[in-house]
Amino acid sequence: MIRRPGQAVDEGLLPQTTVAPVVPGFDVDQSVRNVESWGGDSTLYRHFLSQALAADDIAGGTDGPLPHTVLTLAALAAWRSGILDLRQDALTRLGEALGSGSVPRQALVSAVGLQPSELDDFASAQAESPFGWPARGDGDVVIARVGGFRGLGGAWTAPPMTGEHGDREGRFVITLTDGERWQLDADIFGTTLSRLPPDEAPTTATDPAGRPEASGAWPTRLAVFDTSYLAWLVLEKAR
């Protein structure tokens, strides 16, 4: 079996809808286009937003979702679709919703694919690390596979040789066997790869000024193998 790039949290997931829901006063189609332009998976976005709005409809008992509820659920669903840059906004909205009780818990968990009992642990874990997750487990856990052979739809024309921590948690510098260097930004829901200019010296954790302040409860590393075009982002056992 050929392994391809992807997030571990998405494995086995079968999105139940590919049609954008209709929400009065909210342009869902435009939000789908935004998700696509920002690098998210629009199928996942539609799935999680639809599930969350359905849960809100069951719990809310109103004629329709309130505007702040829609914005909260849309932000969470867009982040869940793989848009790293929306993480902080989504977490801020989640914290406000949990504190005020303004959004049904079932709607919140549906927006990110959790069980109701996991929501508080998820929020606490994410406050510690972009890789925080309620089902921590024991031992090393694969978070994502990145890269891949360009001829099969991946990003690289050579295998990865090294993977180092970058200048902040969730950032890594990957060097390929052909000398190309790539920057990986990642969290529990998504990854972004960008090629570094040949003349740019990336800041890595081996440089004292660039050592990321990572949580000891959520240590990560990049695993590379000379037989694979993939790099594996691994969550290690808590220190």
Give 17's pLDDT tier (boundaries 50, 70, 90): low
The pLDDT assigned to 18 comes to: 65
Give 209's pLDDT tier (boundaries 50, 70, 90): very low
The pLDDT assigned to 120 comes to: 96
Q: Give the lowest-confidence range in 114-123, 136-145, 212-221.
A: 212-221
Task: Identify whether 135 is part of a domain.
Answer: no
For residues 174 and 222, the answer to whether their CB atoms sit within 8 Å is yes
- Number of structural domains, the chain? 2
- Average pLDDT, stretch 110-128? 95
Give 13's pLDDT tier (boundaries 50, 70, 90): confident
pTM: 0.90
Task: Identify whether 2 is part of a domain.
Answer: no
Burial class (CB in 10 A: 0-12, 13-18, 19+), 198: exposed
Task: Identify whether 133 is part of a domain.
Answer: no
For residues 192 and 180, the answer to whether their CB atoms sit within 8 Å is no
- Whether residues 55 and 146 fall in one domain: no
The pLDDT assigned to 58 comes to: 84
The pLDDT assigned to 211 comes to: 47
For residues 119 and 209, the answer to whether their CB atoms sit within 8 Å is no
Instruction: Give Cα separations from 74 to 112, 178, 183, 237 (angstroms).
Output: 10, 41, 28, 33
DSSP H helices, 25-118, are 28-37, 42-60, 67-80, 87-100, 105-112
Answer whether residue 212 shows pLDDT above 80: no
- Whether residues 163 and 197 fall in one domain: yes
Say how far apart CA 43 and CA 30 lie, in whole Å: 14
Q: Which residues of 117-154 are buried (b: 16+ CB within 10 A; e: fewer)?
A: ebbeebbebbeebbbbbbeeeeeebebbbbbbbeeeeb
Say how far apart CA 132 and CA 126 lie, in whole Å: 5
- Whether residues 87 and 149 fall in one domain: no
**Of 100, 128, 156, which marks where a domain is finished?**
128
DSSP H helices, the chain, are 28-37, 42-60, 67-80, 87-100, 105-112, 119-128
Say how far apart CA 94 and CA 204 lie, in whole Å: 32
HSE-CB at 172 with a 13 A cutoff on CA atoms is 27
Give 171's pLDDT tier (boundaries 50, 70, 90): very high
- Average pLDDT, stretch 153-164? 96
Q: Which domain holds residue 176?
A: 141-235
